[in-house]
Amino acid sequence: MTLTSGKYDVPADHVATVITTLEMPVPTMPARLPFPDGFSARKEDLSLDAFRDLFRKVGSPWLWTSGLTDPDEEVMATLTHPKVDYWVSYQDQNAIGLIELDFREEDACELMLFGMIPAATGQGLGRPMMALAQSEAFARDITRFHVCTCHLDSPQALPFYLKSGFTAVKRMVEVFPDPRYGGHHSLDTAPQIPCLTCPPMTSSPS
């Protein structure tokens, strides 16, 4: 369905977002860029618990949802699929970032997940992580590397993808249940996206 011009009501216990799809036909960055001192990345086979723990740490400020709400068997089917790769970024021995590369579409790779925990931002990790993602994606001789971001993501996400060489090609609107009401995130998660039916936050009396 294509929306026409106008305003549309969204249920109070749901969230609406505008998704932008971006893509590139060839890599635009060097094959690899060095990580800052103390940081590294490695390809891993993740357990369900390890994946969800890192997914939550990286994505909770932006209400990342699917990895928490999808059934266990669906998440495990992706985690163990031979055409899906996971790269984890580390600061020393602490997992701080996640890249998911999905090659299940013929001649293409989707950058399904790309992000780092809030404390790791601003330390020069974005470009090395993106160079790694591009290098690994195009090592499979694909003709299309694509990613989606939405306005619930970090405000830096879309400009970063554009600066990294992606071109915006499509927009969609998505409406989905607010994951805070289902207990997947606490009610005070992502305060920049108000819960419409949450009790108001009050200050403690001085």
Tell me what percent of the residues of the chain surpass a pLDDT of 90: 87
Q: Is residue 31 part of a domain?
A: yes
Interatomic CA distance for residues 186 and 180, integer angstroms? 6
Planar angle of CA 115, 14, 5, nearest 5 degrees: 95
Q: Is residue 183 part of a domain?
A: no
The CATH number covering residue 85 comes to 3.40.630.30
Interatomic CA distance for residues 37 and 35, integer angstroms? 6
Q: Is residue 194 part of a domain?
A: no
Mean pLDDT across 13-38: 94
Show the domain range for 132: 15-177
197 band by pLDDT with thresholds 50, 70 and 90: confident
Quote the number of domains for the chain. Answer: 1
pTM: 0.92
| Sheet-wide strand order for 39-43 | 39-43, 84-91, 94-102, 108-116, 144-150, 14-24, 167-177
Tell me what percent of the residues of the chain surpass a pLDDT of 70: 96
Planar angle of CA 76, 77, 81, nearest 5 degrees: 115
Mean pLDDT across 155-163: 96
Mean pLDDT across 83-105: 97
Q: Is residue 96 part of a domain?
A: yes
Q: Is residue 123 part of a domain?
A: yes
196 band by pLDDT with thresholds 50, 70 and 90: confident
Q: Is residue 101 part of a domain?
A: yes
Q: Is residue 138 part of a domain?
A: yes
200 band by pLDDT with thresholds 50, 70 and 90: low
Identify the pLDDT of residue 206.
46
When the pLDDT of each residue in the chain is averaged and rounded to a whole number, the result is 93
Identify the pLDDT of residue 199.
62
Identify the pLDDT of residue 32.
84
Q: Is residue 39 part of a domain?
A: yes
The pair of structure tokens assigned to 155 is: 């405000």
30 band by pLDDT with thresholds 50, 70 and 90: confident
Q: Is the pLDDT of residue 4 over 60?
A: yes
